[in-house]
Amino acid sequence: MKKIALLLTAFISLTALQSCTIEEYYDENYNEGYSQVFELPNETLSTQEDAYTYSATWNFTKPIYNSDNVLLYRWQGNSWTLVPVSYNLGGNDLVKYDYDFTRYDVKVYFSANFPVAELSSAEYNEFVYRQTFRVVVVPGGFQQKMNFSDYNATISALGLENAPIKTMTLKK
C-alpha cells in the first residue's frame, strides 16, 4: 500500500510540474528600437573623488531598463577603446578608466596609483582634460555572443551603424 501511495504522489507531483508554464515576452523589434549610442564629447573629468580619483557623471535622456547593460568606450585619437582600461606611464605609475551605471546615469572614473595632481600637463591633457566617450546601451534581450572590445563590430551587431548618436547631459 505504501508503494502505491508513493507512486501516486510522484505521479501527481510530476503532473503538477509539467503544468507549470513560464511565459516570456520577446519583442523582435526590441534591439532595433532600444539599442542606443550616446556620446560624451570633450568633457573634463573634474569631480575630485579623492586625491587619486576624478570622475564625471552624465544623465540618460530617459531611464534605461533594469535588464539593460551599458558599455563605455574612450576615444584614443584613432579608435575606440573599451573601458575599463589601464595605461602604464612608466616605472610603477599606472592610470586607469572605469565606470558604473544606473538606470538613470553613467559615471566615469579616472584614477591613478599616485595623486592625480602629480600628473604632468601633457598627461593631464591626455587623460583627464576634454575626453570623449561613447556609451552603448545593450538591451537585456540581446542574445548574440561576441567580443564587445571592437566598437565597430558591437555597433554593427546591434544594428546601430546608421543610428543617430545622442548626447548626454553632464550632471552638475
Would you say 170 and 57 are in contact if contact means Cβ atoms under 8 Å apart?
Answer: yes
Average pLDDT over residues 38-47: 88
Residues 6 or more apart whose Cβ sits within 8 Å of residue 98: 83, 84, 108, 109, 111
With a pLDDT cut of 90, the percent of the chain lying above it is 51
pLDDT in tens, 156-172: 988 888 888 888 878 86
Q: Is the pLDDT of residue 21 over 50?
A: no
Q: Which of 47, 76, 72, 78 is nearest to 149 (CA)?
A: 72
Please count the residues of the chain: 172
Q: Is the pLDDT of residue 8 over 80?
A: no
Q: Is the pLDDT of residue 72 over 80?
A: yes
Q: What distance in Å separates the CA atoms of residue 125 and residue 130, rounded to the nearest whole number?
A: 7
Task: Please report, to the nearest 10 degrees, the dihedral formed by the alpha carbons of residues 136, 97, 47, 155 taken in order.
Answer: -10
Q: What distance in Å separates the CA atoms of residue 68 and residue 79, rounded to the nearest whole number?
A: 25
Q: How confident is the model at residue 77 (pLDDT cuts 50, 70, 90)?
A: confident
pLDDT in tens, 116-154: 999 999 999 999 999 999 999 998 877 777 788 999 999
Task: Look at residue 13 in the predicted model and tell me its pLDDT.
Answer: 60
Q: Where are the alpha helices (DSSP H) in 70-137?
A: 121-127
What does pLDDT average to over the chain? 83
